[in-house]
Amino acid sequence: MQENEKWPKAYDSSQVEKDIYKHWEESGYFNPDTLPERNRGGEMYSIMMPPPNVTGVLHLGHAMEDTIMDIAVRFQRMRGKKALLLPGTDHAAIATQSKVEKLLMKEGVKYPREELGREKLVEKIREFAENSKSTILSQIRVMGTSCDWSRLAYTLDEARNRAVNELFVRMYKDGLIYRGYRVVNWSIKGQITCSDDEIVYIERPAKLYTFKYSKDFPITIATTRPETKLGDTAVAVHPDDERYKKYVGQTFTVDIGAAKPLLIKIIADESVEKDFGTGALGVTPAHSAVDFTMYEKQKAKNDPIGIVPVIGTDGRMTEAAGKDYVGLTVEEAREKFVSWLKTRGLLESEEDITQNVGTSDRYEDVVESLPMTQWWLDMNREIPGRGKSLRDLMREAVTTGLDGSAEKKIRIMPERIVKEYLDRIDNLRDWCLSRQLWWGHRIPVWYKKQPAVTNDESSEKEMYVGAVAPEGEGWEQDPDTLDTWFSSGSWTFSTLGWPEITEDLKRYQPTSWMQMGYELRYLWMMRMILMHTYVLEEIPFKDCYIHGLLKDEHGKKFSKSSGNGIDPIEVVERYGCDALRLSLILGISPGNDSKFYLEKVEANRNLVNKIWNISRFIVSSTQDTDSASRVEAKTLADKWLLARLAEIESRVTEMLESYQFSQAGEMLRDFTWSDLADWYLEIAKIEKGKEAILRHILETVLKLWHPFMPFVTEYIWGLMGNKDLIVAEWPKDDVLRTEYRETAEFETVRNLVTDIRRLRAEQGVEPAKFIEAGVAASGDDQQRLEENVEVIKHLARLSEMKLVATVPEGWATTISGVITVGINVAGTVDKEKEKAKAEKEIAELKPYITSLQAKLQNEEFTSKAPEKVVQGMKDKLAEAEAKLKALEDTST
């Protein structure tokens, strides 16, 4: 074929991708409202894009998510659905604010909050966020993502802010959100509260100290945090513990150096393990979540114990800790208190242990447990009128279905995640919603007097909950903002216009599908389920696919600190978007991590180019074809290929329906490269008159590939004179599927060609040389080969192929299935090689035959195994025996 401008030898993605994306965007097909008639009347299909954080740029993980979502939505669009992929970004409260603060500090603003003040700092963050947002949005376009830009959402925009406020107020009115003095996770470094989900547990060595408060105190206790003991108010023992039963209810006064002598009450609590340590637990309600629950239990029992905070928000000991300790860090205080115990002879032992401590996922410091007044979401309280709690809703949504309705059940993939999720639900504590941050949704609560961040139980002033301040003077809004996951949690409906009951809301939720990385399954998936089921009494999505992490070739996480980051945009520039997309989805299995490296992209670039050249060949050789001509299989090869195509069509469809992208893509690749390019197109050069079939095949293949590699397929589609592959009809049941089913017959021909090629290579026949061949076959095989003599001759480079009774003496021979084939090597046959080959095959075949025979003689097998299996084995045995006989004939 002539080189020409339209069809260069190699596909150049950089020349076409931008224009094609622009064309798609202008076509309106990304927006379900402006899709062709067929789609607008179709079933709805919706995906909400997990909003990337506006903290920087798109990374490979985003690129992978964009790819799988885009494959899903393109597939559904081609099938005629009213398909929506709704894009958006996340303001990412703490991530963004801390990032900007760090940048400012680098620029010399040492204390950004103090120096700039709330308004100015928020303005700086907004600037940064807007910048980052526009970068990210343009990168989503580069990935070819077919999302509806007219519905673009941002977690901190006007509409989403309205939704968040409304949600907060509604939950408050339902009694689910409350203000409470409770123990929080406090990051000293970040000066901020963390939810349980933002805690990362790490193991570290620690010392377990066993001691008594005083010489005459009857119970010995153990702790890894001696300094907190300055705030102890009780000792808890198991109610059945004979050793301590007699003390329960008594109160002891001990002086261990705190500001005031401690009043220690002995209480009984089921959760204390008799066999752990001394079987008694010093209770510090102010500095341990567990102890705090005991404090609450005692309060409920009307047998209260005290609560004494001895650590402040600055991580230093408070005045309550006593004059010897005030102002010290916890480490200093610990050392001091331990030596105090030692000098008094109160320390019984010191033991090295490994301890699990919680750290802040953002600031990476060990979090302190401190009591504070914060806003909380109650997991256990009954929702008015629903007869169940938020926890119940979260459980129902993945088990029985919401309200027991199977229609309202979320299917999570891979399934094992469900178990982990339920585990987590069972252990869920109330969610601390308020954050000491400025970047985010400000808590919609107003006070007459502003409470300071403090760990004293402050007296409440007049309070009003609502988005707008009430009438009158002196109202000040709560200074805190909401946990960023509060707004992300409402993503599946806030994006559709809620709290207004819009057409979009009615139509596109519950959404069809959600995908996310497994690190988000609690932080985000759980919250979406919680909020959606609460607000709309519906599930947020029908299917949820949890994918693994992308790692580098050594299995390491991509991260800035290890410097192994790969910029997806650079990869697109170098190899093309289609190649990158394939590399992100092929060879992965759901829920497992996968590795990414450039060799993979290269291989997939080659695949894209292969498709380009297949098209180039087919288009050039079918230029004058009447596109209306009927697709009809005339030869064995035609029947075979059309049967394969029909099979691929239905299997790829099935796989995409069940979100098995990797498998679908691999199947298509194998078909395209091997069956179509290497075999059928080669045959098409020999057997003429395939124009209509070739066109049909190419168009079908382009359609099947389009969701995976949208750019090159759309481009070729255009070069073929067609319009808008993006909305072309997905291949489905057609005449081919029922007409052509048989693929096995062609395998005889294919195997014969391969075996002759191997024989030539073994015998050292020059590759270009045409030689004579003789083929001894019988029955159906004989006829099949006769019909395909020309094909075989060309593909195996034969000058002549005769069907013979026996292969002439002196020719090199091999066995292909049950066919004996010989080639005339003009007396130069390498007997040694031939014999070695035959012997090797015989050696493999004999034990195989023996084992088959043994199986077939085994009555247990023949009576128990299904008839199909037994028959299959008999056939195999017959074939193997025939082959063995032929081999033995040739090797003697």
Q: Which of residues 424-483 bind RNA (CB under 7 A)?
A: 424, 427, 429
Give the number of other Cβ atoms within 10 Å of residue 76's Cβ: 27
258 is a site residue for RNA (CB under 7 A):
no
Least separation, in Å, of the C-beta of 290 and RNA?
Answer: 4
**Interface with RNA by CB under 7 A: which range of 121-129, 349-357, 483-491, 774-782?**
349-357
Q: Of 49 and 330, which CB lies nearer to RNA in the complex structure?
A: 330
**Interface with RNA by CB under 7 A: which range of 9-17, 400-408, 498-506, 538-546?**
9-17
d(CA 47, CA 212): 60
d(CA 182, CA 288): 10
Least separation, in Å, of the C-beta of 588 and RNA?
Answer: 7
874 is a site residue for RNA (CB under 7 A):
no
| 685: three-class secondary structure by DSSP | coil
Q: Of 593 and 724, which CB lies nearer to RNA in the complex structure?
A: 593
**Interface with RNA by CB under 7 A: which range of 103-111, 265-273, 508-516, 736-744?**
265-273
Is residue 359 within 8 Å of residue 199, measured between CB atoms? yes
Least separation, in Å, of the C-beta of 153 and RNA?
Answer: 29
Mark 480-519 with x for binding to RNA (rule: CB under 7 A) and - for no binding.
----------------------------------------
Least separation, in Å, of the C-beta of 606 and RNA?
Answer: 3
DSSP 427: T
Q: Of 147 and 526, which CB lies nearer to RNA in the complex structure?
A: 526
Restricting to residues 684-703, which ones interact with RNA according to CB under 7 A?
685
Is residue 861 within 8 Å of residue 870, measured between CB atoms? yes
Least separation, in Å, of the C-beta of 170 and RNA?
Answer: 27
Restricting to residues 138-177, which ones interact with RNA according to CB under 7 A?
none
Please state, in angstroms and as integers, the Cα–Cα distance from residue 492 to each residue in 513, 538, 540, 597, following that order. Answer: 11, 11, 6, 34
Least separation, in Å, of the C-beta of 507 and RNA?
Answer: 34
**Interface with RNA by CB under 7 A: which range of 53-61, 165-173, 268-276, 462-470?**
268-276
Edge-first strand order for the sheet with 541-547 is 82-86, 44-48, 511-517, 541-547, 411-413
Please state, in angstroms and as integers, the Cα–Cα distance from residue 217 to each residue in 214, 233, 267, 344, following that order. Answer: 5, 14, 15, 13
DSSP secondary structure string for all residues of 647-679 = HHHHHHHHHHHTT-HHHHHHHHHHIIIIIIIII
Q: Of 270 and 800, which CB lies nearer to RNA in the complex structure?
A: 270
Among 163, 372, 614, 838, binds RNA (CB under 7 A): 614
* Three-class secondary structure assignment of 97-144: HHHHHHHHHHCCCCCHHHHHHHHHHHHHHHHHHHHHHHHHHHHHHHCC
Least separation, in Å, of the C-beta of 190 and RNA?
Answer: 20
Restricting to residues 59-88, which ones interact with RNA according to CB under 7 A?
none
658 is a site residue for RNA (CB under 7 A):
no
Mark 581-610 with x for binding to RNA (rule: CB under 7 A) and - for no binding.
------xxx-xxxxx---x---x-xx-xxx
Among 157, 332, 420, 889, binds RNA (CB under 7 A): 420
Q: Of 105 and 353, which CB lies nearer to RNA in the complex structure?
A: 353
Least separation, in Å, of the C-beta of 199 and RNA?
Answer: 8
Among 248, 633, 873, 882, binds RNA (CB under 7 A): 873
Least separation, in Å, of the C-beta of 670 and RNA?
Answer: 6
**Interface with RNA by CB under 7 A: which range of 23-31, 693-701, 737-745, 749-757?**
749-757
Restricting to residues 546-585, which ones interact with RNA according to CB under 7 A?
553, 555
**Which residues on adjacent β-strands are paired with residue 175?**
none
The tokens for 569 are 């945009």
| 48: three-class secondary structure by DSSP | strand
Restricting to residues 726-745, which ones interact with RNA according to CB under 7 A?
none
Please state, in angstroms and as integers, the Cα–Cα distance from residue 351 to each residue in 152, 355, 415, 461, 569, following that order. Answer: 58, 12, 42, 48, 54
Nearest to 171 by CA among 499, 492, 451: 499
395 is a site residue for RNA (CB under 7 A):
no
d(CA 157, CA 187): 28
Least separation, in Å, of the C-beta of 75 and RNA?
Answer: 20
d(CA 489, CA 381): 19
Instruction: Please say whether the dihedral angle defined by the alpha carbons of residues 267, 272, 277 and 281, taken in this order, is positive or negative.
Output: negative
Angle subtended by helix axes 710-719 and 577-585, to nearest 10: 130
Nearest to 389 by CA among 113, 683, 176: 176
Q: Of 294 and 437, which CB lies nearer to RNA in the complex structure?
A: 294
Mark 201-220 with x for binding to RNA (rule: CB under 7 A) and - for no binding.
x------x------------
* Residues 6+ away with beta carbon under 8 Å from 488: 51, 90, 155, 524, 527, 528
Restricting to residues 843-872, which ones interact with RNA according to CB under 7 A?
844-845, 848, 851-852, 855, 858, 860-861, 864-866, 869, 872
Q: Of 603 and 631, which CB lies nearer to RNA in the complex structure?
A: 603
d(CA 670, CA 645): 12
248 is a site residue for RNA (CB under 7 A):
no
Least separation, in Å, of the C-beta of 768 and RNA?
Answer: 6
Please state, in angstroms and as integers, the Cα–Cα distance from residue 62 to each residue in 50, 198, 568, following that order. Answer: 9, 21, 9
The tokens for 787 are 């019909």
826 is a site residue for RNA (CB under 7 A):
no
Restricting to residues 177-196, which ones interact with RNA according to CB under 7 A?
196
Greatest Cα pair distance, the chain, in angstroms, is 113
Q: Of 462 and 657, which CB lies nearer to RNA in the complex structure?
A: 657
Q: Of 181 and 673, which CB lies nearer to RNA in the complex structure?
A: 673
d(CA 837, CA 843): 10
Q: Of 413 and 445, which CB lies nearer to RNA in the complex structure?
A: 413
273 is a site residue for RNA (CB under 7 A):
yes
Q: Of 223 and 653, which CB lies nearer to RNA in the complex structure?
A: 223
**Interface with RNA by CB under 7 A: which range of 140-148, 159-167, 631-639, 840-848?**
840-848
**Which residues on adjacent β-strands are paired with residue 199?**
360
d(CA 144, CA 104): 35
Restricting to residues 353-372, which ones interact with RNA according to CB under 7 A?
353-356
Q: Counting every residue, how long is the chain?
A: 892
Among 146, 193, 278, 890, binds RNA (CB under 7 A): 278
Give the number of other Cβ atoms within 10 Å of residue 395's Cβ: 18
**Interface with RNA by CB under 7 A: which range of 104-112, 163-171, 362-370, 754-762?**
754-762
Nearest to 229 by CA among 120, 336, 110: 336
**Interface with RNA by CB under 7 A: which range of 21-29, 136-144, 673-681, 730-738?**
673-681
d(CA 180, CA 182): 6
Among 613, 650, 722, 743, binds RNA (CB under 7 A): 613
DSSP 36: -
Number of residues that bind RNA (CB under 7 A): 96
Among 68, 104, 140, 222, binds RNA (CB under 7 A): 222
748 is a site residue for RNA (CB under 7 A):
no
**Interface with RNA by CB under 7 A: which range of 32-40, 444-452, 631-639, 669-677?**
669-677
Restricting to residues 755-814, which ones interact with RNA according to CB under 7 A?
757-758, 761-762, 767-768
